[in-house]
Structure 1
Amino acid sequence: MKSRLMMASAVGVWAVLAGSAWAEAPAATAPDAPTQVDQVVVTGEKASRSVQDTVTSVAVTTARTIEREQIRDFYDVIAKTANMSETYGKSGFTIRGVANNNVSGGGTGGLATVYVDGAAIPERAMYGGPLDMWDVGQVEIFRGPQSTLQGRNALAGAVIVRTTDPTSDWNFKVRASTASGDDRSIAFAGGGPIVADQLAFRVAFEDHTADGFIYNTTRKADDDTLDSRMIRGKLLLTPASAEGFKAIATYSRNERKSGYLYTYSRTDTPDYYDHRVTTTNSPNTSDITTDIATLEVEQKLSQRFILSGVASWSQVDLVQRYDGDLGPQTLSYGGQDEMIETSSQEVRLNYEGERLKGLVGLYHATRDAERKSASLTNVEFPRATLVSVLTGQLVSGGYPLALAQATANQFATAYIAQLPVIPVDYSSDAPELVETTAIFADGTFALTPRLSVLGGFRYDREKNTQSSVQTALFAGTYPNPANFPTAYAPFVVLVNQFVGSMVAQAGAPSPKTTREFEAFLPKIGAKYAWTDDISTSFVVQRGYRSGGTAINTARSTVVAYDPEYTWNYELSLRTYWPQWGLTANANAYYVDWTDQQVSLNLGLNAYDYQVENAGSSHLYGFEVELAQRLSAKASWYASLGHTRTEFDEFNVDTGADTRNLSGSEFPYAPHWTFSIGGDYRFGNGLVANLNANYRDRSYTEAGGEQDGRIAGERTLVNGRFGYESDRWGAYVFGKNLLNEKYSQYSREDVPVALLGEPRVLGVSLEARW
């Protein structure tokens, strides 16, 4: 850890010392004097306001940062953001320790949603969805509950991605790059007016391929290849005949073929980090196609009123295949086919008065998901369940027995030696329809020139319909009674029948279930402006995730669970120091979480899971973010995040086993995150950027023996250096320059791990006109 912290500190010292040198330049050198920080406008709270006027903790990555730090996808943004972390590889993320899907396996709704040009992206599309950063104008990450403005899937926060809008000026750009792992890409973007000052267009395209870093020694091919394409078109309409009217229409299509989202590397081979191999014989692939269409309309009614609306439609088509045994034999394999279609409509009325500023809105959305899966799965034989049946403690499948404990254990040992796993040929068809309607409001009222009150609410109604049709067949050979002692033979027959009935139970159809939920989500707070450039605020708001129904695979039942709620208490500080060109902002928070949806194993076997409201927890921490424009040539930033999470109540009672997991932490919730970076533009056209980010170690699972399930700390150092003019640029860049060796997840049953990306070196050529 010390070496990593020293490297992060070294980068920090580089930026700070450089900043000191530039800040102390003589007054006569006007170009190197501190300049005003670029004002960043955020729109994710349904109104346009600067970061300094936004009390919510928001991290903004601008187009300028995306370009200078060679940010390729959303997970590069995660790496540099305080109190964020990726989860199992690039399949999800946490905000303040709370994962975008769940923290304990429970619940089917999201806890943080990514919006691209106003369209919500389903959680399953977080791997392979439209998250590349080519021609993206801005990424806004709101930390903390956004349920008042965003609804059911924003208990942890929300991410707003805005691609570059058309303009009335002609402009184009193109980029070609190559990097380690036979990574190759070519991208184009540009547009201009169709009708001067009334109709403009913009198109963007990117083709990206890579061979990856993991070689499959069984199939003699690369296992983490990538072949993706993105195309996007946008129209901007501002007709002269309709004063104050603006409309933006967007359509994008992303096609991505790659390795399975959990592409493991063997850890029992020499030098496994630098020479990554896998031995699977069944395909490990993910094919995802995402189509998004949005229409944003705005009409300025007067100097104070603006009426706006957004309609969105998206469709995600996901086909995944995986090797379940992770070895060269055909023991376990499976796949999922999903089609998720989402449509939403929202209308808002914004008011901008002298003392009152705010909005009211209406929202409706429908998400229709078709989910099908099939697998050949080896279920570890549930020894405890068998012993309970043999001793008469558990009546299952109509076979209550009454052996002595010692005899039951002896027989169980003999039987499981011949059937250590139960092979099951399983398939499932589980459609889900979610309909949401809401009314919301948000605003501020100035009591005095310095003191304002903040408030808002959302009333949310949801209708959730789900069903499941499952089939489960025993796909192995039952133990032969003749292979056992004569006294055991009758029990072998009965246990064979018990195994068959347990498998058949997993294949029973589940009836369609419809549930309705409603929630009132208030927000209240106050803001005080000490000066024009310094303000503090305190906000209390309620977060929410709806309930639903979950399928217990082992029992083939649909189990209902209720909503969960949080109360978030947050203090913020916003400061700007014009004499130094510096912004220094901070947020501190405490969250109380009740009726938490947790996934519990009921003890029948490894697939006997269902969701219950069995948990409560709390979390607290802070973010501090600095940014300084030292001169027209130089700037730097730094951010520090701290999070502590803890389950206050997490009781697992399976009847045969009771565990109290209270006190355990959330998975992928590092206590400390830190990032720092800076760039400098030399007078001769040379440019340089250096940045680093640090993530503390974190647990990879909730509850249990967490000490054995850890993703280690890591520090990543990145850089981009090159030459550029007004029209073109040539650059060399590097990711993970120190070749930090780390893993995001490791398996206990098989010597494999999800390894972090190795050092990547590349070159790119760009042209602008």
Structure 2
Amino acid sequence: MTLSAGSAMAQEASQTTTTPAPLDDTIIVTGEKSARSLQETQTSVAVTTAQRIEKEALITIQDVYNRTANVSETYGSTGFTIRGIRNTGATGSGNADTATVYVDGAPIPRWALYGGPTDLWDVKQVEVLRGPQSTIQGLNAMAGSIVITSKDPSLTRWSGDARVQWTEHDDRTFSIATGGPIIADELGIRLSAERRADRGLIRNVTRGGYDDELKVLNLRGKLLWTPSALPGLTALASYNRVRREGGYLYEYARTDVADYFNNRVSTSDQPDRGSIASDIAVLNLGYDTGGRVKLSSVTSWNRSKVHSTIDGDGTAEDEQFIDNRYLYRTLTQELRLNYEGPLLSGVLGAWYYRRSGAINANSRINITTPTSTISSLLQASGFSASSASAISTAYAALLPVIPVEYQADQPEKVETMALFGDGRIHLSSRLSLIAGFRFDHETNRYTAETTASFTGTLPDTDALGSAYAPVVSVINAGVLALVDDASAARASNRRRFNAFLPKAGLSMDWTRDLNTSFTVQRAYRSGGSSQNPAKATLVAYDPEYSWNYEFSLRSRWLDNRLTLNANVFYNDWRNQQVTAHFGSSTYDYNTVNAAKSHMYGFEVEAGARLSAMFDVYASLGHIRTKFDHFDLPEGTTSTVDLAGTEFPYAPHWTLAGGINADFGSGFTANLNANYRSAVYSSVGQNQSDSKLAGRTLVNARVGYDAGAWEVFGFVRNLFNDAYDQYRYDAVNLAILGEPQTFGIGAGLHW
């Protein structure tokens, strides 16, 4: 049982007045397409239950990241790492993800993660599956996956919950959920809603107000039907609607002010905002034959519409502005057959996935005048190296940056079909063979059309003296040509990929309470096409593959009052997708396959019932990552060398733990803490310049529950540990972690 097991203990403890009871054993893992208990799941999975969400006052999925071994946030709310691998890839290159967040079975596009339906009100369970899930999940699961499941309707009784929370920083949240049987034992409904209004912390001294002000409305409805006329049939339909208006996916605060962690200000003259409209519909059909076979069908549809704007220079001057719009629709269909027999158990399924949409970019950007390129052109025209360098430097003093208005339309379509299977063959009463496979066929089409125009004023031809007028005239023409080269008519690349992903292993039940296993599996991330913004060309790149070797331990001790689970892994990753530059400007880059790496580490998780009053839980994660080789293709001018360096946001150590106390008569308390060691926020040989110090966050919640009502207080980052999520020292900007925050709340239950 993982850390979250402990959160269920306190509820049981309130019903126990004598000896300690066994740990809860009802947490079921569903992310592997089969219903197995935690102790029967060899995959490294951390489960956060509804009880733990309540007892630790967790609000968003980012709270779960911070409390899970070998999981970490990246740039604010933009994403996460699992075992040191970012959800967008180790270097952020490539179009496919390496990890996906699912909400009630629907995959959420990366562009909506920072404000989509990932808040935790009325959520039943969050599963973080660490390590490749390519056999089961297939698409975008090289690092793992996160499965969020909301609460289902009850068919036996009506009930409801309402809650209000308020923090000292004027973050107000109003939540309600209710449901019950429309037809007893046959048709049930559950409705939930949450409204969050957060004033924000980063005061804008140029425009007024707060850059990270936030307003979110999350609505969800679910219908559960188990028709008495068709015994064994279950139909669960859900719809989730999220509307979010707030700060951009990350917000910068200035670091050139006194006590910047507690005095957060910005100077941007343009709004840094993110607007998200997310709609998710899921239909889950299941038919239990009453024997060993269960048939399932899961259909999901979601639409994510995102509008992001950001001040590109972060100053009070109107110099750069980025305005991006994303619209994506995703349709999935999965058919599964689950079989549970004495000699064989497992799942066999078919999967279809289609994502279509586009990115529309409309930006005003400044490109640093490329003095090296100008110097090379002058030398090719007969100037000496010293003269060419002097002229290009003098020209750059007149035109330090090239102001460009850049527009791009980038539609894409990804279509995937797969067959998969995962099962166990029981060779004896103790020894089982683990086997799985996935055959994945993907077709993706990437299209791009760009328009770039010069919006500044070119230096006068006599600016360097009349003798150099012809030279300046030629350089001016070259600047205009450089900008024009970034414009291109619509072009499209269509790519097809086939991947066979096997899995094999052995599992040994030494006793009822002690199990070990060893598995080997192949993981895959598809290739695609990327646009070189400067040259407006589409460049193909190939897939990535990895092999993961993993040992697991599942154990229970002291009459089930203690669980101790562990996973140890090694991963070999080849043909990694990275970004390479080709010289003409800052924007002359595209994705190539150039890196090889490995990683290893472990997770240990434990939960223990100390008494009828107290239970504790803890986790420890360790990860080491390293780029072994980095071989760029000919023609690149990149100076970054990844060989021998680590992945960004891959902390060597993560540690979390907590204690629940049930004092009786409704009084409860929780104290928890999580530690993340230092991380690098960039890649390459100079990544030590981007090192972010480790941080320790301590949180607490105390409450009184009278049954029909409750009141509680909580604090996040109790000791106000000042930490950065990202620093950009060249322009005195940083993404800051959450400060010390006190809050109160009240709830009703019926």
Q: Normalising TM by the smaller chain, what interval?
A: over 0.9
Whole-angstrom CA distance in 2 between matches of 1:158 and 1:189 = 27
Given residue 73 of structure 1, which amino acid in structure 2 is its aligned partner? Answer: T
Question: 2:154 & 2:610 partners in 1: Cα distance?
Answer: 30
Check 1:280–1:49 CA distance in 2 against 1; reply closer, same or farther (3 A cut). same
Give, in angstroms, the shift of residue 683 of structure 1. Answer: 1.8
Cα 1:656/1:225, change in 2 over 3 Å: closer
Kindly indicate whether the alpha-carbon contact (under 8 Å) linking 1:580 and 1:630 is maintained by their aligned counterparts in 2.
no
Match of 2:539 among 559, 584, 599: 559
Give, in angstroms, the shift of residue 369 of structure 1: 1.2
What's the offset of the Cα at 1:126?
A: 1.2
Quick check: 1:32–1:630 contact (8 Å CA) kept in 2? Answer: no
| 1:421 aligns to 2:401 (yes or no) | yes
Is 1:569 matched up with 2:549? yes
Match of 2:187 among 199, 207, 228: 199
Q: Which of 27, 40, 49 is residue 36 of structure 2 equivalent to?
A: 49
Say whether 1:635 aligns with 2:623: no
1:513, distance to aligned residue in structure 2 (A) = 1.2
The match for 1:267 among 255, 259, 273 is 255
Q: Could you tell me whether the CA contact under 8 Å between 2:581 and 2:638 is conserved in 1?
A: no
Unaligned runs of 5+ in 2: none
Cα separation, 2, equivalents of 1:306 and 1:675: 38
- Residue of structure 1 in register with 2:121 after alignment: 134
What is the SS of the residue equivalent to 1:290? strand
- CA distance in 2 between partners of 1:462 and 1:493 (Å): 50
Q: Which residue of 2 aligns with 1:458?
A: 438
C-alpha distance in 2 between matches for 1:382 and 1:98: 34
Partner of 1:310: 298
| Alignment equivalent of 2:739, drawn from 724, 737, 758 | 758
Q: Which residue of structure 1 aligns with residue 666 of structure 2? A: 685
Letter in 2 for 1:48: A
SS of 1:254 mapped into structure 2: strand
CA deviation map 1:156-176 (0-9, x unaligned): 001110000001121100001
**Structure 1 Cα separation of the partners of residues 216 and 570 of structure 2:** 41
Query: How far 1:302 sits from its partner (Å)?
Result: 3.6
1:489 is aligned to: 469
Provide the secondary structure at the position in 2 that maps to 1:221.
coil
Q: Could you say what secondary structure the match of 1:208 adopts? A: strand
Aligned mates of 2:640, 2:666 — CA distance in 1: 63
Note the alpha carbon deviations across 1:101-125, whole angstroms, 9 max, x for none.
1111311111000000000000111
With 601-610 and 195-204 compared, the bigger mean Cα shift is at 601-610
**Aligned partner of residue 555 in structure 1, secondary structure:** coil
Q: Residue 729 of structure 2: SS of its match in structure 1?
A: coil
SS in 1 for 2:348: strand
AA matched with 2:20: A
Residues 131-162 of structure 1: CA deviation (Å, up to 9, x unaligned): 10000000000000000011120000011100
Counterpart in the other structure of 1:434: 414
What are the residue-to-residue correspondences of 1:268-667 with 2, within 5 Å?
268-392=256-380, 401-579=381-559, 581-652=561-632, 654-656=635-637, 660-667=641-648
Whole-angstrom distance in 1 between the partners of 2:594 and 2:537: 19
For 1:747 and 1:128, locate their aligned partners in 2 and report how far apart those are by CA, in whole Å: 24
**1:162 maps to which residue?**
149
Q: For the structure 1 residues 64 and 521, does the alpha-carbon distance in structure 2 shift closer, same or farther, using more than 3 Å as the test?
A: same
Is the Cα contact below 8 Å between 2:214 and 2:245 reproduced in 1? yes
The amino acid that maps onto 2:385 is: Q
Amino acid across the alignment from 2:310 = Y
**1:515, 1:634 → 2: CA distance?**
57
TM-score (norm: length of structure 2): 0.97
Q: Percent identity?
A: 46
- Name stretches of at least 5 consecutive residues in structure 1 with no aligned partner: 1-11, 24-28, 393-400
Report the AA paired with residue 636 of structure 1: V
Contact 2:641/2:685 (8 A) holds in 1: no
Query: 3-state SS of the aligned residue for 2:730?
Result: coil
Give CA-to-partner distance per residue, 1:717-749, whole Å, 9 cap, x none.
000002112211100101001001011111133
Superposition RMSD on alpha carbons, in Å?
1.5
CA distance in 1, matches of 2:263, 2:27: 43
Q: Distance in 2 between matches of 1:505 and 1:268?
A: 38
Q: Aligned partners of 2:331, 2:528: CA distance in 1, in Å?
A: 20
Runs of 4+ with deviation above 6 angstroms: none
Tell me what 1:70 maps to.
57
- Amino acid across the alignment from 1:238: T
325-334 or 680-689, which deviates more: 680-689
**Distance 1:655-1:46 versus aligned 2 partners, 3 A rule:** closer
Is contact 1:465–1:512 with CA below 8 Å preserved after alignment? yes
CA contact (8 A) 1:582 1:629 kept: yes
Q: Would you say the 8 A contact 1:173–1:188 is kept in 2?
A: yes
How far is the alpha carbon of 1:36 from its aligned partner? Answer: 3.1
Structure 2 CA distance for aligned equivalents of residues 656 and 366 of structure 1: 37
Amino acid at match of 2:598: H
How far apart, CA to CA, are the structure 1 residues paired with 2:111 and 2:254? 26
Per-residue CA deviation, residues 338-387 of structure 1 (Å, 9 max, x unaligned), is 11100010000011000100111011011011210101100111222222
**Kept in 2: contact 1:35–1:632 (CA 8 A):** no
Shift of 1:262: 2.2
**Is contact 1:37-1:582 (8 Å) kept?**
no
How far the C-alpha of 1:330 sits from its partner, in A, is 0.3
The one-letter amino acid of 1:259's match is G
Q: Which amino acid aligns with 2:586?
A: A
Q: Please name the residue that 1:396 is paired with.
A: none
Q: Distance in 1 between matches of 2:639 and 2:315?
A: 34
Query: Residue type of the partner of 2:253?
Result: S
What letter matches 1:151 in structure 2? G
8 Å contact 1:106–1:597 — kept in the other structure?
A: yes
Label 1:657 to 1:552 Cα distance change in 2 as closer, same or farther (>3 A): closer
Normalised TM-score (structure 1)? 0.94
Equivalent residue for 1:743? 724
How far off its partner does 1:675 sit? 0.3
- Is structure 2 residue 88 aligned with structure 1 residue 117? no
Does 1:725 pair with 2:709? no
Distance between the aligned counterparts of 1:743 and 1:403, measured in 2? 48
Distance 2:23 2:536 in 1: 62
**After the TM superposition, which of the residue ranges 34-43 and 174-183 deviates more from structure 2?**
34-43
Distance change (3 Å), C-alpha of 1:498 and 1:617? same
Q: Is the 8 A contact 1:324 1:333 kept in 2?
A: yes
- The 8 Å contact of residues 181 and 213 in structure 1, kept in 2 or not, is answered as yes
Matched-pair contact (CA < 8 Å) for 1:623–1:642: yes
Residue type at the aligned position of 1:441: G
2:211 equivalent in structure 1 = 223
Question: Partners in 2 of 1:594 and 1:687 — Cα distance?
Answer: 50
The corresponding residue for 2:196 is: 208
Structure 1 residues 357, 580: CA separation in 2 closer, same or farther (over 3 Å shift)? closer
Offset of 1:221 from its aligned partner? 1.0
